[in-house]
Structure 1
Amino acid sequence: MTGSRSDLRVVPAALAVWAAAAALSHAAPPWAFGAALSGAVVLALGWRRPVLAFPAAALVVVAVTCGWRVTAVEASPVTALAERGTTVRAEVQVRQDGRVYRAPSGPGTVVPVMVRVVEARGRTWEVRVRATAFVEGSQSLVTGTRLAVRAELAPADGRDEAAVLRVREWRSVGSGPWWWRWSEVVRDGVRDGVDHRDDQAAALVPALVAGDETGLSDRTREEFAATGLTHLLAVSGANLTIVLGIVLLGLKAVGASRRVVLAAGALTVVAFVLVARPEPSVLRAAVMGSVALAGLLVGRTGAGLRALAWSVIALVVLDPWLATSAGFVLSVCATAGIIALAPPLARRLRWLPGPLATAVAVPIAAHLACLPVVTSLSGEVSLVAVFANVVVAPAVAPATVAGLVAGLLDLVWAPVASVPGTVAWGAASVIVAVARVGASVPGASVAWPWPWWTLLPLVPALGVALWWLVRRPALTVGVTLGLLVAIVRTPTPGWPPRDVVVVACDVGQGDGFVVPTGPGEAIVVDVGQEPGPIDRCLTELGVERIPLLVLTHGDADHVEGWRGAVRGREVEVLADGPSGGPGVPAARRVRLLSGSTLQVGDVRLEVLWPRTDAERVPPEARNDVSVVLRATVRGHRVLFTGDLGEEAQRGLGRLHPDLAADVLKVAHHGSADQWPGLVERVAPTVALIGVGADNPHGHPTGAALDELASHGVSVWRTDTSGTVAVVDRNGRLVVSAR
């Protein structure tokens, strides 16, 4: 027992080092490095007890690493050039595969790079600093590739990077070391092993085997997020365990010596990192595997928590900026939950068959451990995550193993690779189907209205309640079935209300409005930034068809949630303004300008703004070319003002003397950039403000609220009232919120 307790002292040391790395790498002022270093040295020298000396020594190393990295970045000529916005020629090496992103202006590729050489103003510097490069278009840039670029520099967001590169021109000048070329050949083999199938299941196999998500659609990613299956897309310890298991068990089966088994295991870990790329979760899995192999080498089996703690210490010492990386945090939390909670929970479920008890305990433990982190990232709590993970668990290993075999066979004899490739595709099809079905149910996830840290005390309480519940089989089954019913058919008494004029959907910090036009159909004006909230709102309102989708302007908080709006729904007409928007699938697309009118069912729409039809609108001018609509619904007028600023509102007033409406959608989430005369000209009874709770912009401002109050307008905000419906009751407007 004494040895066990002594071995576990590395756990608090890992927590201390992790916290120190998070603070020093992101928030601490420069003098904090010296203070942390001095304090740790004093502690290490002043106390002889290993339980204090060991964490102190680790803190010293973290402080030195942080200080050295920050100093190197601040002293780099690249940092100075970035502060001046200089255009340079440079030679860079890709650190991680480029990731394609979609913006209203078109696709682009973001690439983490290492700057090697930079040339500007007749001078050349040889450097070695990290940076992030943005390249126009969907470019296939793989790890290790060397590029010659002409780029405009801008200051970096993080303290560990010297600059952001806006790449104007680039060309490849080398493919990098042989090991990166070899790893790309293997990744190509995995892709080719399933290329005889052209669907999302085939695209999932490379993601499971090597973390290659390039073939996955945005819809699939969203479905995996909604069902708590995103961890399958990020290579983790489970993937490494499967691959190591194949290698080690195979060698043991043929009688290989212990030394050969260990050497093969070490080579497998290295190959795993090369093929899956050095992402935070991959590095954590690799370090943990290395620690386990070291334990085998010295003849002792290390405990799971101790191995995890050592991996955390090693990684944050090597790269303190991993400490706050979302992938790293999720990976560590999930692993810790599985190690610490899953075995006792499985024993508690002994009334179930052994394999089933483990299959249930593992996702519950991982979900509980990751709940605060996932909520901080998404603002939602997934209710189907545990169910989805239990169902897909039997399919993950076959998909991974068969996909790897298909990839390796493709390198030797490509025609045969399709056989295991089909097996991998079949298993992956199960996973994709579970994600699709799980994401489609009304109660797949719920928005968490409070800060994420409020879950920290709640999670242990949930754990205690679960611990008590699972010992009572009948009650456990009853609660589980009740939860399933609530998820599949979310109870919404009194919702949607009858005779709706307009609904302000709670989409967080953004706009999403719905005007019903008939049974199962509605006009949608803007869709928020995330797909989940607008999808839930439309589902709760029973909207199955969108005859008209209006995107008032191209800012992300108005357009990026479009995938949620079109999920399972047909869009007949997509309408936008001069600032454009994403390529939403629709039967046809129209451009809206002042003077246009539209009729959808009994709803009449007047386009009051903008007047310009410019081909290109710079991002800073998008607000003022927002589409302004006035809809007449059930005899009531609703004025949608987008994000129009004060000067544009004055222009709207000059162009249209009559702006009267019963309901006013307050412009720009109630910012201070308002024309005081607009409320007087509109004279609304109800004002709706689409705004997110605790948003960093201070919306809605006191000035905007005071102006509305001074005119006796009833103000309803989505941050305090949730989704708000304005309803006609015998010719009078009333408001219903939920």
Structure 2
Amino acid sequence: MGPPDRAGRPVRILQRFLLTLRDREERLRRVLEVSRSVQDVRLIPGMLALWAVSAAVTWRSFPHVLALGAVGGALTTVLLAVQRTRREPDRSRGGFLNTALLSSVILVLGSALGLIRLMDPVGSSVIAAADAGAVRTVELVVTGPAEPSEPEQSPAEGDRCGQGCMATAVLQRIGDRGVSNPVVAQIRLRCSTACPHDTLAVGTRLEALVRLSRKPERPGRLEGTVLRAPLVLQAPSRLESFLGGIRTSFLQRSAAIPGEPGSLLEGMVLGERSRNGPGFIAVMTSTGLTHLTAVSGANCSIVFAAILLGARSLSLPRVPAAAAGLAGLGAFVILIGPDSSVLRAAVMSAAALGVLAGGHGARGIPLLCVSASCLLLTEPALSLDPGFALSVTATGGIVLAGRPMARLLSRIMPYGPALMLAIPLVAQTACSPLLVLLQPQLTPYAVPANLLAAPLVAPVTLLGMGALLLLPVSTVLGEMLFVPASWCTTAIWGIARSLAELPGAVLDWPPGPWGMATMASLGVLECAILWALAHPGKVAAAYRWLHRSLARNPRRGALRS
């Protein structure tokens, strides 16, 4: 027996390492494999009908809600009569009739619920008081973290509110009448410097004298300006105090990070935006990274996907793994704070990644429609919220084109990084037409900025959450996760600032429907270019076919002449 081959040992180690990477790559493909079935789009008309009814309810337009209900009732009657008179079964025609009938029924039921909301006397009195700018004594519960508020000139009192704070709250009682209508439940509370920041802790029940108002551009959101220091009726519960202590310890540690990287870390981990200055917001907006300034669907998707992949790597079936992911996402929402924007992001991300867990591609759009419809039924004011529209659009883009884009990119890179880059690329491309409609400007570096920052978002979210949980227990262990997370936010801020300083970072774009159509065409062109880069052989074959077709054309002589 000869001596061992020491020279070939490094080669064998490298081969085993490459085999391990290939095995993990194939395992990731199998975990995230979704059937390539045709998407079921039958629920989209029903969701759009409910969206229209919710918008009419938010505008408090009784005639429009009544008209939508009448149209739905007439369509339901006509479609039922057509179905009864139809003799020969036609699957395509029957499917269309069933889809139209389902949409008309949803329109009728949504209009009925909208009329019930509009006829609520308490809700109507609250809206009337807000439109009149009346002063009322209200009882409310704080549901969102406090943020800095801009100075405001009080029209009645004549005093100027200083740099105070603002928080989201649920209106429980106005005067001596309780409020249960979700249309008027959410209120944006604005306090002056006389209102202590600790008073607006999440879970605190307050009694305050406020001036109600409602902006014309945001009719679904009530605002209340506190005229004097509110009275604390009930402190947060033990669980809320415990969670508040965890958040406070993280904020105290992140305060040691100066400038924008610390603000970015607080926003991505806790949704805290108290340190966001105008310059910071301008840079993030010009590079399309505004969604990183607070907890968004990307953070919720990362938490859900991390738990899902961890459970699947332990050979758990899809259903228990999906249940574990949903439970972890629920715990994440409770830890961050059940704000309406966080709940919306969690629902949308769960709808998108639930398709990956279920393994059925055709269920993506129905799951998205059901999730969006439930949110609209719970809070109709979301129908006029641009953030909700962007969430639905981004989720739809991820469901429809996320995996195909990942397969295209996997031809030039491993599947894991391809999937990580495909999600922000598809989401940004899907949201660009709507963003242009909301603000007619072009941010050419938005896609490169999202592609460069995408590999750093997951480490910030996971390391930051780990540091958030470990800092109150062990400072040493918490610092081991906190420091790398701060490095990642520093890198993200460096990417955003460098791209924002390049020439042409913000360009004017045509406003209105024309700008929306041209931006959509640009997105299609980008996808076509990526497809061509991923399939050079098919592009060459198409070019040869086109050349042969032109060569066989009998008019080629005329073309030559």
TM-score range, shorter chain: 0.7 to 0.9
Could you tell me which residue of structure 2 aligns to residue 94 of structure 1?
A: 142
Q: Aligned residue for 1:437? A: 498
Are 1:111 and 2:167 an aligned pair? yes
| 1:273 equivalent in alignment to 2:355 | no
Within 5 Å, which residues of 2 pair with 1:72-87? 72=120, 76-82=124-130, 85-87=133-135
What do residues 555-610 of structure 1 show as CA deviations (whole Å, max 9, x unaligned)?
xxxxxxxxxxxxxxxxxxxxxxxxxxxxxxxxxxxxxxxxxxxxxxxxxxxxxxxx
Say which of 191, 202, 213 aligns to 1:143: 202
Partner of 1:35: 67
Greater alpha carbon shift after TM alignment, 311-320 vs 254-263 = 254-263
1:183-241 CA distance string (max 9 Å, x none): 43443354356455344323322322232222333322221111100112243332122
User: How far off its partner does 1:304 sit?
Assistant: 3.2
Alignment partners' CA distance in 1, 2:118 and 2:249:
40
For the pair 1:411 / 2:444, whether they are aligned, the reply is: no
- In the other structure, the counterpart of 1:632 is none
CA-to-aligned-CA distance 1:499-531 (integer Å, 9 cap, x gap): xxxxxxxxxxxxxxxxxxxxxxxxxxxxxxxxx
Return the offset for 1:14.
2.6
**Residue aligning to 2:116:** 68
> How much has 1:166 moved relative to structure 2?
4.2
Could you say if the C-alpha distance between residues 52 and 394 of structure 1 is closer, same or farther in structure 2, counting changes exceeding 3 Å?
A: same
8 Å contact kept, 1:88–1:150: yes
SS in 1 for 2:228: strand
Using structure 1 for the length normalisation, give the TM-score.
0.56
C-alpha distance in 2 between matches for 1:78 and 1:262: 41
Match for residue 281 of structure 2? 221
Q: SS in structure 2 opposite 1:169?
A: coil
- Alpha-carbon distance, 1:402 to partner: 0.5
Q: How many angstroms does 1:262 deviate by?
A: 4.8
Write out aligned runs for 1:575-594 (5 A).
none
Q: Does 1:304 align with 2:356?
A: no
CA distance in 1: counterparts of 2:533 and 2:325, whole angstroms: 42
Q: Measure the CA separation in 2 of the matches of 1:69 and 1:95.
A: 23
Q: In structure 2, what is the Cα distance between the partners aligned to 1:244 and 1:365?
A: 19
Which of the residues 485, 496, 501 maps onto 1:424?
485
Alignment partner for residue 126 of structure 1, among 160, 178, 195? 178
**1:408 and 1:334, CA in 2 relative to 1: closer, same or farther beyond 3 A?**
same
Q: Distance in 2 between matches of 1:84 and 1:292?
A: 42
Distance verdict in 2 for CA 1:333–1:298, change over 3 Å: closer
> CA 1:67–1:187 in 2, change beyond 3 Å: closer, same or farther?
farther
How far apart are the structure 1 equivalents of 2:115 and 2:57? 9
**Within 5 Å, which residues of 2 pair with 1:439-588?**
439-448=500-509, 450-470=510-530, 473=533
- Rounded to whole Å, the distance in 1 between the matches of 2:507 and 2:67 is 43
- Residue pair 2:348, 2:392 contacting (<8 A) in 1 also: no
Higher helix share: 2
* Cα offsets for 1:232-266 (capped at 9, x unmatched): 22433321222123333444555667776454333
Does the C-alpha gap of structure 1 residues 297 and 394 become closer, same or farther in structure 2, counting only changes over 3 Å? closer
SS of 2:150's equivalent in the other structure is strand
Counterparts of 2:381 and 2:456, CA distance in 1: 34
**d(CA) in 2 for partners of 1:163, 1:103:** 15
Aligned in 2, Cα 1:15/1:352: closer, same or farther, shift over 3 Å? farther
Q: Residues 672-711 of structure 1 correspond to what in structure 2 (within 5 A)?
A: none
Aligned residues: 469
Call closer, same or farther: CA 1:149–1:284 in 2, change over 3 Å: closer
Assess if the C-alpha contact under 8 Å between 2:210 and 2:224 holds in 1: no
Secondary structure of 2:515's match?
helix
1:457-509: CA deviation from partner (whole Å, max 9, x where unpaired): 213321343344345559x9xxxxxxxxxxxxxxxxxxxxxxxxxxxxxxxxx
Question: Does 1:383 pair with 2:444?
Answer: yes
| Alpha-carbon distance change, 286 to 441 in structure 1, aligned in 2, over 3 angstroms | same
* Partner residue, 1:56: 104
Mapped partners of 1:132, 1:281: distance in 2:
13
Whole-angstrom distance in 2 between the partners of 1:341 and 1:265:
22
1-structure distance, mates of 2:168, 2:207: 15
Structure 2 CA distance for partners of 1:190 and 1:14, relative to 1, 3 Å: farther
Please name the residue that 2:559 is paired with: none
Letter in 1 for 2:443: S
Show the counterpart of 1:235: 295
Q: In 2 relative to 1, CA 437–92 (structure 1 residues): closer, same or farther, beyond 3 Å?
A: same
Is the contact made by 1:210 and 1:276 (CA closer than 8 Å) also made in structure 2? yes
Deviation at 1:432, TM superposition (A): 0.9
> Does the aligned pair in 2 maintain the 1:100–1:139 contact within 8 Å?
no
Distance (whole Å) between structure 2 residues aligned to residue 289 and residue 361 of structure 1: 15
**Separation in structure 2 between the aligned mates of residue 84 and residue 343 of structure 1, nearest angstrom:** 51
**CA, structure 1 residues 252+390, in 2 after alignment: closer, same or farther (shift >3 Å)?**
closer
Using the TM superposition, give the Cα deviation of residue 315 of structure 1 relative to its aligned residue in structure 2, in angstroms: 1.2
- Report if aligned partners of 2:352, 2:399 keep a CA contact under 8 Å in 1: no
**1:315 and 1:113 mapped to 2: Cα distance?**
18
Name the SS of the counterpart of 1:107 in structure 2.
Answer: coil
Q: Secondary structure at the match of 2:191?
A: strand
- Is the 2:136–2:212 Cα contact (8 Å) retained in structure 1? yes
What SS is found at the alignment partner of 1:115? strand
Asked if the contact 1:288–1:307 (Cα under 8 Å) also holds between the matched residues in 2, the reply is: no
| Alpha-carbon distance between aligned partners in 1 of 2:37 and 2:498, rounded to the nearest angstrom | 45
d(CA) in 2 for partners of 1:7, 1:473 = 30
- Residues 320 and 342 of structure 1: CA distance in aligned 2, closer, same or farther (over 3 Å): same
Q: 1:322 aligns with which of 370, 382, 395?
A: 382
Q: CA deviation at 1:178?
A: 5.1
Change (3 A) 1:53 1:175: farther
- Runs of at least 5 residues in structure 1 that lack an aligned partner in the other structure: 477-738
Q: Contact 1:41–1:56 at 8 Å: present in 2 too? A: yes
More relative contact order, 1 or 2 (CA 8 Å, 6+ apart): 2
Give the letter aligned to residue 204 of structure 2: T
Contact 1:91 1:148 survives alignment (8 Å): yes
User: 1:149 is aligned with what amino acid?
Assistant: A
* Contact 2:390/2:431 (<8 A) preserved: yes
**In 2, Cα distance between the equivalents of 1:288 and 1:100?**
27
CA distance in 2, matches of 1:101, 1:377: 23
Name the aligned partner's letter for residue 137 of structure 2: R
Letter in 1 for 2:110: V
- Matches of residues 655-670 of structure 1 in structure 2 within 5 Å? none
Gap runs ≥5 in structure 2: 1-34, 84-96, 153-159, 537-561
Shift of 1:390: 1.1
Separation in structure 2 between the aligned mates of residue 84 and residue 320 of structure 1, nearest angstrom = 22
Aligned counterparts of 1:296 and 1:368: Cα–Cα separation in 2: 21
Larger Rg: 1
Q: 3-state DSSP class of the match of 1:7?
A: coil
Question: What CA distance in whole angstroms lies between the structure 2 residues aligned with 1:249 and 1:238?
Answer: 16
Percent identical: 28
Residue correspondence of structure 1 range 170-181 to structure 2 within 5 A: 170-177=230-237, 180-181=240-241
What SS does structure 1 have at the residue aligned with 2:467? helix
Residue-by-residue CA offset, 1:29-76 (whole Å, 9 max, x unaligned): 312222322332443454364312322333234323433333336655
